[in-house]
Amino acid sequence: MQFPHVVIARLYEHIEPIDRGNRYEDPLQAALEEAQAGQVSGGGSQLNERGEIEHADIEIELADLDTALGIVAATLEKAGAPESSELIDTKDARVLRQFGTHQCLAIYLDGISLPDHVYANLDFDAVVSEIAAAAGPDSYHGFAQGNEETGLFLFATNADDMFARVEPVLYRLPIAENARIVIRHGRHALNPRELRMAKR
């Protein structure tokens, strides 16, 4: 079945395609089907100069631009969509609505300058689990492996409060030494701030 209005939901976060499907696309498809308001028809990602996903797009066909837009925004917000996400009309690239309630805390672990034993003894999954437990339930959205840093991306309604919970954990973890922290990672409109964990 085809619907007359094609809209892009643009989510300004690093999220891999499989995770995007599980977190956003599948719940959205279910909500639209239940309301007979549209369907998810595609998706994609835009990379930045560091090779990270700058934003993820979900292509959606909708029955109307009133009720259906509300269903899309509410469903994606419930799934954890970041602040300043957008619903864009594909006909004229007009932003129909901004949505999102979550802020991102990005933790970039130093991958090159720490002592060799830190990397040799690293249990990455355990590190992620400990940080995510401090950040809060369902906060961890994934990671990006770079040549010099590995970014961890965590979400909550207030990134400053999340960092306050995570910071003591980072001080305890050897791999978090010299980590680069971006609070409210994402669009410039969120006024992100950056700091670096001390070398010990």
Indicate if 48 and 70 belong to the same structural domain: yes
Q: What is the pLDDT of residues 157-184, one digit of tens each?
A: 999 999 999 999 999 999 999 999 999 9
Q: What is the pTM of this model?
A: 0.90
148/192 same-domain check: yes
One domain, residues 146 and 190: yes
Same domain for 157 and 72, yes or no, is: no
Instruction: Encode 39-61: b = buried (16+ Cβ within 10 Å), e = exposed.
Output: bbeebebeeeeeebbebbbbbbb
Do 81 and 118 reside in the same domain of the chain? Answer: no
- The radius of gyration of the chain's CA atoms, rounded to the nearest angstrom, is 18
**Cα 118–chain centre separation:** 27
Mention every residue, 6+ apart, whose C-beta is less than 8 A from residue 134: 165, 166, 168, 169
Instruction: Supply the pLDDT for residue 188.
Output: 83
pLDDT at res. 74: 97
What CATH number corresponds to the domain at position 46? 3.30.70
Same domain, 107 and 188: yes
Residue range 4-60, pLDDT digits in tens: 999 999 999 999 999 999 999 999 999 999 999 999 999 999 988 777 888 999 999
Chosen domain end from 64, 84, 99: 99
Q: What is the span of the domain harbouring residue 63?
A: 5-99
Structure tokens at 8: 């892009």
> CA 127, 131, 132, 133: dihedral to nearest 10 degrees?
100
CB atoms within 10 A of CB 16: 15
Same domain, 68 and 152: no
Q: Where among 64, 99, 134 does a domain terminate?
A: 99
Q: How far, in Å, CA of 50 to CA of 193, rounded? A: 18
Same domain, 115 and 147: yes
CB 149 within 8 A of CB 181: no
